[in-house]
Amino acid sequence: MQKKLYFCGMKHIRIISPSGAIDSRLIDGAAARLRSWGYQVSEGRFARGQFGRFAGTDDERLQDLTEALTDPSVDIILCARGGYGLQRLLDRLSLNGSEPCSRPLNSKLITGFSDITALHQWSLLQGRPSIHGLMCKHLCELPEDSDMIRYWRAAIEGQPLHYEVPTHTLNRLGTASGTLIGGNLSVLYGLQATPFGLLPVLQRLRDNGQSALLFIEDIGERHYHIDRMMCNLRMSGVLEQISGLIVGQFSDCDDDPSMGGSVYDTINEAVRDYAYPVLFDFPAGHVVRNLPLIFGTPATLSVNHQFSTLAPTTL
């Protein structure tokens, strides 16, 4: 039986805005829904702030993040939105509970996606699970009975997630197990050659006898930018060190005919020399159907002719 990494019954959710500024009405809507489910909800003192494109200055956003991480009453940290800004804070957070964070970092479950990928990387280096999933806008606007709400609630409550998705013509068949990692490709690319990049995460997993299933998604990137980023992952050795690849949604990333194929074709070309299974068109990313993924936990990817599965993912 797989050991649970988190327990059900957590009651206190702290909403913070560690990246971009957010419409306060979305925080209000998300908080109201969470309270209706029986959770205690609080928010960082600067969650509704704005400093240019950011939800407060770097110091303010770092203060909210540090307080959420070190408050023993907080069980879940809900990042209000993505945008941009977390990369400015990472090197000011401790990796081991030592300075510059002077207080011990209690185990917290962080949830969010997009720019929050940077915080997922930080969590992986801590050996802590985190959820690539919904944020305030989606919690505020999605119907109560939607699959996305149901899956996200299951994720934060520690229930196992089992996904079955249709086949795709570019899929590479096979089965592989590993720890789920990844997120937004642009953010991961921006963290390369830093202490928070994919290579340090992969090294930490190897040191613990674990392999990795890499998930990637993106939004609004030029086709050749995606090619550049995939070439970086290939030449840096990231792609040869994983046991499987899960390709999510690349929203508003138009295919460029001069690149000789689709965006998915470009990604497929980058992994052509590796034998592991590859799953294309997984429903996660900057889309309405954004299935939660629990990073830092073991999962098995099985890709076959009829459908593909990803399971079990449980805290």
CA distance linking residue 313 with residue 293, whole number of Å: 8
**What's residue 162's pLDDT?**
93
Of 100 and 292, the structure prediction assigns the larger pLDDT to 292
| Residue 70 in tokens | 């070190």
Instruction: Please give the biggest Cα pair distance in the chain.
Output: 54
Asked whether residue 99 carries a pLDDT value surpassing 50, the answer given is no
Strand-pair category, 130-132 with 174-184: unpaired
CA-CA-CA-CA torsion for 167, 171, 174, 175, nearest 10 degrees? -70
* Per-residue pLDDT tens over the stretch 136-189: 999 999 999 999 999 999 999 988 899 999 999 999 999 999 999 999 999 999
DSSP 182-217: EEEHHHHHHTTTSTTSHHHHHHHHHHTT--EEEEEE
**What's residue 9's pLDDT?**
52
Q: What's the rounded mean pLDDT across residues 58-87?
A: 95
Name the percent of the chain lying above pLDDT 90.
Answer: 88
CA distance linking residue 314 with residue 277, whole number of Å: 22
CA distance linking residue 54 with residue 70, whole number of Å: 22
**What's residue 104's pLDDT?**
46
CA distance linking residue 114 with residue 157, whole number of Å: 22
Measured in degrees and rounded to the nearest 5, phi and psi for residue 299 equal: -150, 165
CA distance linking residue 269 with residue 199, whole number of Å: 21
DSSP character for 2?
P
**What's residue 6's pLDDT?**
43
Give this prediction's pTM.
0.92
Strand order across the 298-303 sheet: 161-166, 307-313, 298-303, 174-184, 212-219, 244-251, 278-279
Measured in degrees and rounded to the nearest 5, phi and psi for residue 91 equal: -75, 0
**What's residue 4's pLDDT?**
44
**What's residue 11's pLDDT?**
83
Three-state DSSP at 176 gives: strand
CA distance linking residue 255 with residue 268, whole number of Å: 14
Q: What's the rounded mean pLDDT across residues 202-231?
A: 97
**What's residue 108's pLDDT?**
84
DSSP 7-59: -S---EEEEE-SSB---HHHHHHHHHHHHHTT-EEEE-TTTT--BTTBSS-HH
DSSP character for 73?
T
Number of Cβ within a 10 Å radius of residue 98:
10
User: Minimal CA–CA distance to 253: which of 264, 245, 242, 269?
Assistant: 264
* Per-residue pLDDT tens over the stretch 233-257: 999 999 999 999 999 999 999 999 9
Rg (CA), the chain: 19
Of 5-19, 187-201, 214-228, the least confident:
5-19
Asked whether residue 191 carries a pLDDT value surpassing 90, the answer given is yes
**What's residue 8's pLDDT?**
45
**What's residue 315's pLDDT?**
53
pLDDT band at 7 (very low <50, low <70, confident <90, very high): very low
Q: What's the rounded mean pLDDT across residues 299-306?
A: 95
* Per-residue pLDDT tens over the stretch 10-58: 489 999 999 999 999 999 999 999 999 999 999 999 999 999 999 999 9
Residue 2 burial (10 A CB sphere; 0-12, 13-18, 19+): exposed
* Per-residue pLDDT tens over the stretch 120-141: 999 999 999 999 999 999 999 9
**What's residue 1's pLDDT?**
32
**What's residue 100's pLDDT?**
43
Strand partners, 111: 78, 131
CA distance linking residue 160 with residue 164, whole number of Å: 13
Q: What's the rounded mean pLDDT across residues 208-233?
A: 97
Asked whether residue 109 carries a pLDDT value surpassing 80, the answer given is yes
